[in-house]
Amino acid sequence: MTKKFFGTDGIRGRVGEAPITAEFMLKLGWASGKVFSREDRGLILIGKDTRVSGYMFESALEAGLASAGVDVALLGPMPTPANAYLTRTFNASAGIVISASHNAYYDNGIKFFSGSGAKLSDEVELAIESELESDMQMVASDKIGKVSRINDAAGRYIEFCKSCFSSQSNLRGMKIALDCAHGATYHIAPNVFRELGATVIEMGAEPDGFNINAEGGSTKPELLQKLVLEERADLGIALDGDGDRLIMVDSAGEVVDGDELLFIIADAAHRSKRLSGGVVGTQMSNFGLEEALSERNVPFVRAAVGDRYVLAELAKRDWVLGGESSGHLLCLNVTTTGDGIISALQVLAAMLEFDSSLSELKTGMKKYPQHMINVACKKKVDLGSQVAVTKAVAQTEKQLGGRGRVLLRPSGTEPVVRVMVEGEDESTVVSLTEDLARVVSAELG
C-alpha cells in the first residue's frame, strides 16, 4: 500500500500547511496512541527540537495520545537520538520526536521510534495511517492517559553519551569548536565534550525558536571553519537541528564530510580488528570511500538514499557501520539510530587510539570530484528504457575508464532527475556531467 503521510523519515512539511497543522497533530496523536496501545496502555515519550512550533505540536500530540488512553512523558527539547535511547531505557511503547531535522524553523515534522529505539516498520506506519481515516473517539474519562515530565532527561542522555567513550581515555588537552545549530543539542553536546575533558568553544547554542539551522550546523559549516582557524582549535564539530547528523572540520579549516567520517570510523575498527562485517553507504557515497575500503578488503555495498534504507541493508547483512555523505552515520554497535554526538566520539576515539589528527586520519581516503545537475522532469520516465540516455551513460562510463561512476536518480522530493558523475579529474567530471545532462534533458523534454 502507498503511504499518504509518512515519507522516508516520518512526516514533514511547512508549518500551517496540511498535514503540519495543530488539528492534524491532535488526530495523529490519537491514531498512533490507538496503534501503540493495542497490547497494553503503554507509555509514549515526546521530545522536540527548538523550533517555535514544537510547543504547539507537543500540546496537540499530548492531547491526542491521552484521549486514546495512553500515558505520556514529556522530554522537552532533546536530540532525536536521545529520544530513541530514552524510549528504550524507559521501556516505553514508542517515542515521538517533533522535528524537521536540518530544515529551517518554518518547517516541522514528526518522527517515531519503536519501543526498541528503531524506526517504525512500514506495517506500523500503515496501521497509523489507517486509524487516521477513522473518526476520532475518546476513551471513557476513567481511561484517559496521564501526562508527566521527565526532568532529568538531559542528564540521563549526557551520561549515556559519555559511557560510549572509553573510561580509559579522556579529551584533556583537546580544543574543540562546537556548532549546535541553535538546535536540540544546545544543552547536551557542550556538556558531553567538556565533561570528557575537552576545552569547548561553542556557537549556535542560543536557540530562540526561529534561528535553528539558520547560519550554521552540519549543512552550513562555513562559520565553524572560521571559528576553528580563529581559535586554533584541534577540530570542529557541526551538528544539525535535531542532532542526528555530524560534519567535522580539521585543524586546517577543511570540512570532513560524512563519507570521510564513515571511512575514519571503519578504518579504525578494521585496524583494531573490531570491525564486524562491512560498510553500507548510499548511491550518493563518494567513489573514494568505496575504493579506500576495497583496498583494505572491507566489503562495501550501496543502499538507496535515506538512513532507513541504510539501516535495512545493515540489518539484512548483520553489519553495524553505515551512513550517508550528509553525515547521518549509523554505529549500531553503540546505539540504534544516527547520532551526531556518538559519531563524533567514535572519531575522537580513533584520533586518540592512533595518536593522529583528524586531517591525518582522513588521508587514507581519496575523495573523488563529484558534480551533479538537476534536470527538470514534469512526469515519471523510465530512463533505463531511453536508448539515447543508455547510450550516453555507457559512453560516459567508458571515458571514466573504471575510475569513477555515473548516477541518474529521480528525486523523491522535487520534480527533477539528478544527473551525477564522479571521476579523478574535476574539469573532466564537470564536462561529462553537462554533456549527459543535455541528453537527459532532451529525452525528458
Quick check: bond before 221 cis, omega within 30?
no
Which among 332, 335, 328, 327 has a CA at the least distance from the CA of 277? 332
Among 101, 218, 325, 343, the one annotated catalytic = 101
Compute CA distances 371 → 226, 391, 405, 424, 436, whole Å: 25, 20, 11, 12, 11
Asked if 38 contacts 22 with a C-beta cutoff of 8 angstroms, the reply is no
Compute CA distances 144 → 40, 71, 151, whole Å: 14, 8, 22
Longest dimension (CA), the chain: 72
Calpha distance 97→75 (Å, rounded): 10
Say whether 101 is catalytic: yes
- For 375, phi then psi, to 5°, come to -105, 125
Calpha distance 258→328 (Å, rounded): 7
| Active site residue ranges | 101
